[in-house]
């Protein structure tokens, strides 16, 4: 590191800070994560974090930016047999969380939603308004808002059990193992009678 705390040349400092922040927020949530700890993990002076992001809140906002378009995710899920939509949804969500373009962002949202109201709002907007409500509307059944909320309960529960609590065998199961187990429940919420 040079005397001013900046890495020499165009070294991807902002990206390194952002990756360290996603890791920290994802592991610990919003509250326990500090600007100093993120700077230490990124190998920079804390003043650089503030230079690029302004504050802890600014850093958090940047860490939550999704490098994917939810509309593209929905369009992909809707391709195929409508009777297999539940299983495709399980595979799709696990793909985003496990290996997609935003696993760190998704974990950050999930962990932080419990204690940070803005994170809860973002997660709710992403899951319900951007992904699950469009899926429920496309399924063509009555009461899509209720169906989307039921879907969210299963998706959020699966994410919490798999990624935060790391409950076995859910944590180590493959998407292909989980899809036939959880997919029928999602399918019922999408197209079945709700009673």
| pLDDT digits 0-9 by tens, 28-80 | 777 888 999 999 999 999 999 999 989 888 888 787 776 667 788 889 999 98
**Residue showing tokens 């391709």:** 79
Residue 33 CA to residue 24 CA, distance in Å, equals 6
Secondary structure in 3-state letters for 8-70: CCCCCHHHHHHHHHHHHHHHHCCCCCCHHHHHHHHCCCHHHHHHHHCCHHHHHHHHCCCCCCH
* CATH H-level superfamily of 13-63: Homeodomain-like (1.10.10.60)
Residue 59 CA to residue 137 CA, distance in Å, equals 35
Write the CATH number of the domain with boundaries 70-191.
1.10.357.10
**Residue showing tokens 């996603």:** 22
> In the numeric block, which tokens belong to residue 9?
């040349």
| pLDDT digits 0-9 by tens, 105-125 | 677 777 777 777 877 887 788
Domain ranges in the chain are 13-63, 70-191
Q: Coil, strand, or helix at residue 94?
A: helix
């Amino acid at each position: 590191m040079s005397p001013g705390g900046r890495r020499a040349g165009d070294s991807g400092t902002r990206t390194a800070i952002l990756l360290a922040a996603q890791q920290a927020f994802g592991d610990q949530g919003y509250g326990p994560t500090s600007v100093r700890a993120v700077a230490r993990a990124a190998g920079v002076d804390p003043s650089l974090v503030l230079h690029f992001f302004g504050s802890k809140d600014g850093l958090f906002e940047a860490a939550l930016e999704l490098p994917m378009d939810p509309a593209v995710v929905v369009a992909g899920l809707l391709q195929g047999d409508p009777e297999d939509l539940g299983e495709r949804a399980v595979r799709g969500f696990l793909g985003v969380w496990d290996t997609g373009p935003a696993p760190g962002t998704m974990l950050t949202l999930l962990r932080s939603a419990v204690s940070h109201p803005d994170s809860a709002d973002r997660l709710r907007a992403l899951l319900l308004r951007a992904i699950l409500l469009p899926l429920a509307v496309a399924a063509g059944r009555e009461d899509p808002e209720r169906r989307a909320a039921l879907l969210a309960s299963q998706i959020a529960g699966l994410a919490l059990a798999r990624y935060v609590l790391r409950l076995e065998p859910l944590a180590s199961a493959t998407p292909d193992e989980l899809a036939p187990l959880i997919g029928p429940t999602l399918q019922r919420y999408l197209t079945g009678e709700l009673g």
